Amino acid sequence: MEWQQNKYDLEERTAVFAERVRDFCLKLPRNSANAEYVSQLIRAGSSPGANYIEANESIGDKDFKMKIKTCRREAKESAYWLRLVITDHSSEMENERIGLRQEAKEFILIFSAILKKRGE
């Protein structure tokens, strides 16, 4: 599994997370609640990766820290929207939700550790 090989490559890992969120959302039931939740989840789920790329191209330490804080905030938001979306209650969808929420929570810890290491 490619993700396992690139587990410590955070740019790749956040991109894979965004792809998994997208694919999960495409399988969710269509209803009025999910219409809002899904759009929020897709935005939040793809944001940590995009902001991490920007952090790596930052113009200074202050800019880097702000981008990492955004990564952490969007990971928290992803976990929140993953909690709220309505699945079909199949074990496959529930397991995917659990896995995605766990990955979002790991991102929160990783981005917090990066900030701590940078003196934030």
Domain range annotation of the chain? 2-117
Query: What digits encode the pLDDT tens for the residues 70-106?
Result: 999 999 999 999 999 999 999 999 999 999 999 999 9
Res 3 pLDDT > 50: no
Closest CA to 11 of 119, 113, 118, 110: 110
**Reported pTM:** 0.90
The CATH class that applies to domain 2-117 reads mainly alpha
Q: Kindly state the helix (H) or strand (E) to which residue 57 belongs, with its residue range.
A: none
Cα(80)–Cα(101) distance, rounded to whole angstroms? 8
Cα(89)–Cα(71) distance, rounded to whole angstroms? 29
pLDDT band per the 50, 70, 90 thresholds, residue 7? low
Q: State mean pLDDT over 54-69.
A: 95
Cα(55)–Cα(11) distance, rounded to whole angstroms? 11
Helix ranges, 28-60 (H):
32-56
Token pair listed for 112: 């917090």
Predicted local confidence at residue 60, as pLDDT: 94
